[in-house]
Structures are given as structure tokens and as C-alpha cells.
Amino acid sequence: MAMTAHTARPQPWRRELRLTLKGLVFSFPWLLGFLFFTIYPVGASLYYSLTRYDVLRPPRFVWFENYIDLFSGDPLFGTVIRNTLYMVIVGVPIALVAAFLLASLLNNKILGRPFFRTIFFVPSIVPAVAVAMVWLWIYNTQWGMINSTLASWGLLAIPFLSDPSLAKPSLIIISCWAQGGSIVIFLAALQDVPRSLYEAALVDGASAFRRFRHVTIPMCTPSILFVMITDLIGTFQSFTLPWLLTEGGPNSATELYGLYLYRNAFRFFKMGYASALAWILFLVIVAFTALVFRSSARWVYYGGQVE
């Protein structure tokens, strides 16, 4: 940290250097972390992805074999990609719409809004392990909450987690239940929409539905974008809930990317292979995020929040 002598001559570059050093000192905790816990692992995993590495023996450089194996030799990889894309392309919009609609309901002048808000929010802060345990029991094919009720009415049970075609939708249902964070964000955004816009729309004779579609939704698009991107990134990486509920079954119907990666790394100890998987995931996430951002210029409306 340089201490400049107090001189009458202007030495702007000295001052700037001093400020930059000060800035770096403040950034130090993060900079060190960036080097050790971001740069190094990211680089190392790129290197590992080009090796065969089972931790016991030193890594063996194999160039792009892992990547080639993934795309041509691995029968499960295609399934994993399909499953994960399904959860992202189908699951994220469904959850988002559900959250937005719930927030819209809460945005009315109702008694006990904090009460309702709490009920919708709490599921999202509950530990995933507990969520898995409870829903495992709710979905239980023979004695679960839903199926034992159906049985007592003489109806057939719904094999939520044991039928390959029902497993992913069952996961989506749980994710809709746990959208509390998004609901709170949307609620705040909804409350920020200027009343004057609604009044103007009303003067123009707009119906409630049209007001919702042409005033409410457009004014909330920044928050919608934020939730969409964070949900997207989170869904691509999701691990805990599917792992604990189905462990990838039935018949790999819920073998999502996060699970497959974990399995390869910590069950099969194919660290190189798993690193290749990780890098592909990284690139896919970046690509999707960039795509969504690009498209956002067309449908997101900023401004109008100043007043």
C-alpha cells in the first residue's frame, strides 16, 4: 500500500495506483477465493476431462476420448440429456407460470396476506432431504397419501415414482410446490406496477384479462427473466431431490445430469469422465443463458419503474 507524499505537483497516476491497490486489498478475500476455488478447479477439471483418472492411480492423458465416448459410446448419455432437457424446457415454464399465478392471487387486497404468503413460501426453505422424505411417502404407490385415498374409493393407484412416464411430472409437481422464493419475487414485482397504467387501460376500456396480459405481465418481465434464468441454471444442476426420491429410476427416467455426473465421479470413480460431463454442462448452461438473454431484448421491458 503506497503512501503518497503530499506534494503540490499533480500526480494523477500515483493517486490512481494507490486507489487501485486499495481496491485490490478490499477485494483480497474474494480474489484469493477466486484463484483457489474458481480458477484452479475450473482449469483442473478441464485438464481432468482429458484424462482417465480414478484417484488411486495418477491421471492418464487420453485427449478427447472421454468426450467421444460420451457422444458415441455411452448409451445412457442421450437419455440423461433428454431427461434434463425435459425438466428444463417443460418443468421450468410450468413452475414459473404457477408461481406467477399464485403471486397474482396474493396481489389482491386480502385479509391475512402474510398468512397466505407464509404458507406458499415455507415449502421452499425446507431442507431437501426432508422434502424428499415427505413426498416419497405422499407418492407411495400402496399406502401413500394419494394412493391410499384412491384405493379406499375403489380406484387404481397412480404409480408416481415407479412409472417411467410419471416420474418426471411427479418431480415437476414437487418443484411447483417449492416455488416460494419465486412467488415472493413476483409478488414484489406485481406490487411495483404503477397504478396509473391500470387506470389508463381502464379508461381505454380494457377488460380485466386484457389488463393482465398487456399491463401486468409486460411490467413484470424483468423479474420473470431473473426467475427464468435462475430456475434454468438451478434445474440443470439439480441433484438432491431426484437422487433421494428415485435415484435416477425407474428405468433411468429421472437420471438427470447432476445424478449421472455424481454417479460417475463418486460411484464409478471415473473422475475424468465426470469432469468431461461437468464441462459439457457448463457450456450448455452458458449457451442456454445466453440464448435467453438474447431473446430477452424482445420481450423484456425495462424502465417505467422510475416513477
Partner 1 sequence: MGQLAGTVGLPLTSARARRQKPLTFWLGRLLLYVVLLTLSLLFVLPFIWMISTSLKDDPQVYHAPPIWFPSPRLWSNYPGALSQQPFGRFFINTLWYALPATVGTIISCAIPAYGFARFRWKGRDLLFYICLGTMMIPFQVQMIPLFITFKKLGWINTYLPLVVPAFFGNAYFIFLLRQFFMTIPLELSDAARIDGCGEFGILWRVILPLARPALAVVGLFTFMSAWNDYLGPLIYLNNVKLYPVALGLQQLRANYHAAGQRLVWPYLMAASTVVIAPILVLYFFTQRTFIEGITVTGIKG
Contact indicator for 255, 248 with CB cutoff of 8 Å: yes
Residue 45 in the binding site for partner 1 (CB under 8 A)? yes
Site for partner 1 in 1-40 (CB under 8 A): 16, 19-20, 22-34, 36-38, 40
CB of 79 to partner 1, least distance (A): 18
Task: Name which of 253 and 271 has its Cβ closer to partner 1.
Answer: 271
CB of 21 to partner 1, least distance (A): 8
Cα distance between residue 233 and residue 239, in whole Å: 12
* Nearest alpha-carbon partner for 191 in 116, 107, 109, 306: 107
Task: Name which of 7 and 152 has its Cβ closer to partner 1.
Answer: 152
Task: Name which of 7 and 142 has its Cβ closer to partner 1.
Answer: 142
**What SS3 state is found at 61?**
strand
Site for partner 1 in 234-293 (CB under 8 A): 236-237, 239-240, 244, 258, 261-262, 265-266, 271, 274-275, 277-279, 281-282, 285-286, 289
Residue 177 in the binding site for partner 1 (CB under 8 A)? yes
Cβ neighbors of 21 (< 8 A, separation 6 or more) are: 1, 2
Residue 212 in the binding site for partner 1 (CB under 8 A)? yes
Residue 215 in the binding site for partner 1 (CB under 8 A)? yes
Stretch of 70-78, 80-88, 179-187, 294-302 contacting partner 1, by CB under 8 A: 179-187
Cα distance between residue 18 and residue 13, in whole Å: 9
Residue 189 in the binding site for partner 1 (CB under 8 A)? yes
Binds partner 1 (CB under 8 A): choice among 81, 94, 158, 233: 233
Cα distance between residue 238 and residue 178, in whole Å: 14
Cα distance between residue 227 and residue 233, in whole Å: 10
Cα distance between residue 267 and residue 56, in whole Å: 14
Residue 250: asked if its preceding bond is cis (omega within 30°), the reply is yes
Cα distance between residue 273 and residue 252, in whole Å: 19
CB of 192 to partner 1, least distance (A): 7
**What SS3 state is found at 229?**
helix
What character string, x for contact with partner 1 (CB under 8 A) and - otherwise, covers 106-145?
xxxxx---x-xxxxxxxx-xxxxxx--xxx-xx---xx-x
Contact indicator for 223, 186 with CB cutoff of 8 Å: yes
- Helices 40-48 + 271-299 axis angle, to 10: 120
CB of 291 to partner 1, least distance (A): 13
Burial environment of residue 286 by CB neighbours within 10 A (0 to 12, 13 to 18, 19 or more): exposed
CB of 253 to partner 1, least distance (A): 21
CB of 294 to partner 1, least distance (A): 15
CB of 269 to partner 1, least distance (A): 11
Site for partner 1 in 67-106 (CB under 8 A): 102, 104-106
Compute how many residues bind partner 1; rule: CB under 8 A: 109
